[in-house]
Amino acid sequence: MCAIEDRKVLKMGLTLVCLTLLAIHMADAVVQHRSLEDARQERQRLVHRYTKVLNKEEGAIRLVGGDNEYEGNIEVLHNGKWGAVCDDEWDSTEADIVCRQLGFPGMRRYTRSGFFGPARRRFWMDNLFCEGHEQELVDCHFEGWGENDCEPGEAAGVVCYPPENALIPMATPIIRDEDLPKYPIHSRSRLYVRLRGGRSRIEGRVEVSLDGGRWGSVCADGWSLLEANVVCRQLGLGYASEAFQTDFFGGFNVSRPVLSGSECYGNETELADCLHHDASQGIISCHGNRQHVAAVICDYIAPDLVVDYLEIEQTAHLEDRPMLLMQCAMEENCVANEAYQIQRDDPHWRYRSRRLLKFTAAAINAGNADFRPFKEKSQWEWHMCHMHFHSMEVFATFDIFNLRGIKVAQGHKASFCLEDSNCLPGVAKKYNCANSGDQGISINCSDVYLYNLDCQWVDVTDLIPGTYVLKIAINPEFKVAEMNYDNNAAICDLIYTANFARVQNCQLGRP
């Protein structure tokens, strides 16, 4: 119940919180609290969470599409209207800020690819870049309100840790999708797979049958190229060229789901080797658009990018660069947040400098098809600083981790232009960024980003000397189909001192 003194604190719109608590109390009759202090903390958490939402304050956030209050896709309020957040560069740093802003203890898991369903509204935020100390999501860098090139299936989401003192009806246990165990299909069972509803044998919705039982579709939640690649491999149809969450090939009304929660690493031989909810117990948990199911288009050809880690080892070095020469890079958020604070507070900021770990990165296409941007040319972005179109926002990421696996610095390259920089003898260059040319990486060609290019660095000005891990990854979000992704990253030892940096012992790995 809400006391009179509570209503003075909650004020106008927040009385709705009291009404909500009252409704829960009346509906469930008995609510479990360990103490009066627990109840007060729960009230404070709800007030913290709903204050900005109910008052419709700029930058308020909420979670939608989940089964519980602490999970779902993120929506943010701007100009009095709600909008989605794109999953480009979305990771645990940004997700943890969301959970803390909402008053939850922290982030349990971040999600991409519309795990809780496709975005229901316009995208307000794209290419979010947070350092972890921000109090709210709007304190992070991003492209600008409404500036994005995202599809509905690219919604960012999160699963937060539930509050310790949450209101829990004693008679009604809460079963969270995150708590549903996931297993490979048991070795004594057989998961049959087929494609249906397509225009040819290499496309359609994915249907499965456990031990020869009823055929049904697969829930679309989180369905990506990783899962689609496994399906194509199992059916002997090559590689996945597209992964869809759609009803184009027939949805729930045609084929009811019999499998959910699919998560693949990408190199499994069969879909049964991936993780799923326990289908043998009839556990099916689907979010988002209830008509959408998992679908795929397969192809026998695909690109396969490989990072040239020797080039990274040979070219890595430190440079102290005046901020005067970094204005174009700063427009693309290529330096740490501290640099923008200096720019704001110091009238002589142009004469300050930043220490940069610079290196050359090359991506070689060892596949049997050209690597092409996943967006149409009409969606490419023109950059005045570089005087050419950028076709991919997230083609590569540059991250530095400490020996405990915590990210301590990262490069932020806003977008990329793809071209054939070098090709093997006898291979003609096809793609060129200049003069609004077509972009991509041809078979047996490489796209080389030299260390003297803008944003080809990690800002290490505030990094403490020591031993770290440097990770350079290409196509890190698996947005473009490839044969496999196990050679898309170079993972190296980084020795950083006050006077020099050395990158060594690089190995190929996964983004």
Angle at 412 between CA 409 and CA 415, to 5 degrees: 160
- Residue 236 is predicted with a pLDDT of 95
CATH code assigned at 185: 3.10.250.10
For residue 43, being part of any structural domain is answered with no
- The CA distance from 317 to 323, in Å, is 18
Quick one: which of 262, 254, 264, 279 has its CA closest to 190?
A: 279
For residues 290 and 329, membership in a common domain is answered with no
For residues 183 and 128, membership in a common domain is answered with no
Number of domains in the chain: 3
Residue type, 250: G
- Residue 339 is predicted with a pLDDT of 82
Q: Which domain holds residue 142?
A: 60-162
Buried b (16+ CB within 10 A) or exposed e, 170-203: eeeeeeebbebeeeebeeeeebbbebbbbeeebb
For residues 386 and 449, membership in a common domain is answered with yes
Residue-wise pLDDT tens digits, 280-303: 666 777 776 667 899 999 999 999
For residues 342 and 447, membership in a common domain is answered with yes
- Residue 56 is predicted with a pLDDT of 64
Q: What is the pTM of this model?
A: 0.73
For residues 213 and 352, membership in a common domain is answered with no
Quick one: which of 390, 360, 394 has its CA closest to 474?
A: 394
Contact criterion met (CB below 8 Å) for 399 and 411: yes
Q: Residues near 79 by Cβ (< 8 Å), separated by ≥ 6?
A: 58, 145
Q: Which residues of the chain have pLDDT under 50?
A: 1-33, 166-178
186 φ/ψ angles, rounded to the nearest 5 degrees: -55, 145
For residue 169, being part of any structural domain is answered with no
Residue-wise pLDDT tens digits, 165-222: 544 333 333 334 445 556 566 555 688 999 999 999 999 999 999 888 889 999 888 8
Contact criterion met (CB below 8 Å) for 154 and 85: no
- The CA distance from 374 to 481, in Å, is 9
- Residue 23 is predicted with a pLDDT of 42
For residue 364, being part of any structural domain is answered with yes
Q: Which DSSP category does 464 fall into?
A: P
For residue 74, being part of any structural domain is answered with yes
For residues 184 and 275, membership in a common domain is answered with yes
For residue 495, being part of any structural domain is answered with yes
Boundary-marking domain end, from 117, 132, 162: 162
For residue 323, being part of any structural domain is answered with yes
- Residue 500 is predicted with a pLDDT of 92
For residues 312 and 294, membership in a common domain is answered with no
For residue 34, being part of any structural domain is answered with no
Distances (CA, A) of 161 to 21, 173, 294, 427: 21, 17, 28, 53
For residues 325 and 294, membership in a common domain is answered with no
- Residue 213 is predicted with a pLDDT of 85
For residues 202 and 103, membership in a common domain is answered with no
- Residue 332 is predicted with a pLDDT of 73
For residue 284, being part of any structural domain is answered with yes
Q: If 0-12 CB within 10 Å is exposed, 13-18 middle and 19+ buried, where does residue 284 land?
A: middle
